[in-house]
Structure 1
Amino acid sequence: MRVLGIDLGSRAVKLVIFENGIFLDSMVYDTASFYRDFCSNVNQKISIDFEKLDIGRFDSVVSTGYGRNNVNVENSTVILELKAHTYGAVWQTGLEDFTLLDIGGQDSKVVSVRNGKMADMVLNDKCAASCGRYLENMANVLGISLEELTGHYENPVELNSTCAVFGESELIGKISEGYSIRELAAGVNYSLFKRIKPIIERFPHENLVVCGGVARNNALLEFIKSELDFKRVVVPRMPQLNGAIGCCAFKVRKGSKSL
């Protein structure tokens, strides 16, 4: 059986293909480019044009993500993001009990996973300063790449604003005070950590699994390891694809239970 998993994220669209329960291939597209190049608008309904996408045949489709209710994926099963990320993290790590942290482009999610299922969760989609887009904006203010920004964690400048917009103004003020790029970048990373720390601490466990694009933020991982009481901090091999992988894993697990 060939399964297509689609995670329609706010910043990127991720596609994963499983064949007979095994990861086969993946694709990542900028969300705006994906809508422009591979979707059509018929009767005010946005639909994916699979002929343009040209990914070959598949037997079933499972979709999730920010755009799951705005984009029509023909004949697909639609599941919640939290469920998709839970299934993806279990499949990627082999763990059944852990706390899951996923920071997306426009929200952050913390899930308590027990026996391979979501037991509890906290979703923060109200504050832009606790998501990936905040880091992108602050990197632009500093005039450096996102990759460079996320590598700095030593001697962080104190940034106290709880608002992403005011945070930019505060950062500009710190630049004028003569702090180095390293210290400023570290301060940005630590300010993100401070905002997500309380919700992570709501679900104590020995294992923390970190997914999403921000899982590549080395500074954030350093802060987590130094200030929180997890014995293991696990980053799966494909953290950005976790939601799409979870879509496929969901279908595979449901299919095996029906046999």
Structure 2
Amino acid sequence: MTMPSRSKHTILLDCGTSYAKVHYCGTGRRRIIPARDIMRHPDRYTVAAATGHNAGVRAQTRVNELVALAHGGLALIPDKNFTLLDCGARDVKFVKVRNRKVRGMDWNTECGAFTGQVIELLARYFDMDASAPPASTGRLPVVCGVLGMTAMFDRIAQGAPHEVAFSEFLRGIAFNCQTLVGRPDVLYLSGGLCMNNTFVNSFSCEVRPLGRFVLLDGLLRATDPAQDH
């Protein structure tokens, strides 16, 4: 007996290292799934446009992550001037907008190396409450996520409680991120770490989290000719 063919969903895709953010074009529904599910079953979807580290999953259109981030910021943020930082699993990237025009963008795969992945793994390992306030006002001199983890375990070996060492690690990451973007008074934040209040509260400036779908909003704006670019 011949099985009926499974209809494909047309999607916009932000496919990162750990997770994929999916926008279903027909319904506007969104969800987050492991990136490996997209990589293993690319034939289940028609990818109209994609961004992210694993964007080359038979996408009809590929959009650079910084371009998608800039479009997402312009779609979601009403301010004339703003700085938007995206903390991903394997890097950090940012855009600066002045008078609603992009005036700067860059990313850092060294200081931000595996920042999101390491924080997520450590939070699970220590069973940390992501809504808890920082347990320390100190910070570790974090060069990157991996080396910062080594420094954090050194602090624990010296007798520091793991909550304190983890908090100092997060504050070190936050300090690096602020330095990377020029230490603005207000910083918009994109990515999964928006959900980690401990990380958000580790910054010394005002942080306004935008959630995990900013790059999807950027894809919508970048690929829709009706949008005012």
Give the structure 2 partner of residue 210 of structure 1.
189
Q: Is the 8 A contact 1:4 1:61 kept in 2?
A: yes
Q: 1:44 maps to which residue? A: none
Give, in whole Å, the separation in 1 of the partners of 2:19 and 2:219: 16
Deviation string 1:134-156 (CA, Å, 9 cap, x unpaired) is 2134335xx324x6256341324
How far off its partner does 1:72 sit? 1.7
Q: Which moved more, 1:212-221 or 1:157-166?
A: 157-166
Write out the 4+ residue segments of structure 1 that deviate beyond 6 Å after TM superposition: none
Across the aligned residues of Structure 1 and Structure 2, the Cα RMSD in angstroms comes to 2.9
1:120 lines up with 2:124 in the alignment: no
Report if aligned partners of 2:118, 2:145 keep a CA contact under 8 Å in 1: yes
Q: Distance in 2 between matches of 1:17 and 1:114?
A: 32
Residue 77 of structure 1 pairs with residue 51 of structure 2: no
The unaligned stretches of length 5 or more in structure 2 are 1-8
Percent identity of equivalent pairs: 22
Q: Which amino acid aligns with 2:84?
A: L
Tell me how far 1:30 sits from its aligned partner.
0.7
Q: Secondary structure at the match of 1:67?
A: coil
Deviations 1:176-231, CA, capped at 9 Å, x for gaps: 333223212211211211221211226x4x6422111112221232232xx23x5x
Choose which of 27, 43, 62 in structure 1 pairs with 2:31. Answer: 27
SS of the equivalent of 2:70 reads helix
Answer whether contact 2:72 2:217 (CA < 8 A) is retained: yes
Question: 2:214 aligns to what?
Answer: 242
TM-score (norm 2): 0.81
Q: What is the total number of aligned residue pairs between the two structures?
A: 221
- Amino acid across the alignment from 1:34: I
Summarize the alignment of residues 149-164 of structure 1 with structure 2, pairs less than 5 Å apart: 151-156=132-137, 158-164=139-145
Secondary structure of 1:183 counterpart: helix
The amino acid of 1:218's aligned partner reads N
TM (norm. structure 1) is 0.73
Cα displacement (A) at 1:83: 1.4
Ranges in structure 1 where 5+ consecutive residues have no aligned partner:
40-48
User: Which has the bigger relative contact order, CA under 8 A and spacing at least 6?
Assistant: 1
1:240 aligned partner, one-letter code: R
Shift of 1:129: 4.8
Q: 1:144 aligns with which of 113, 126, 133?
A: 126
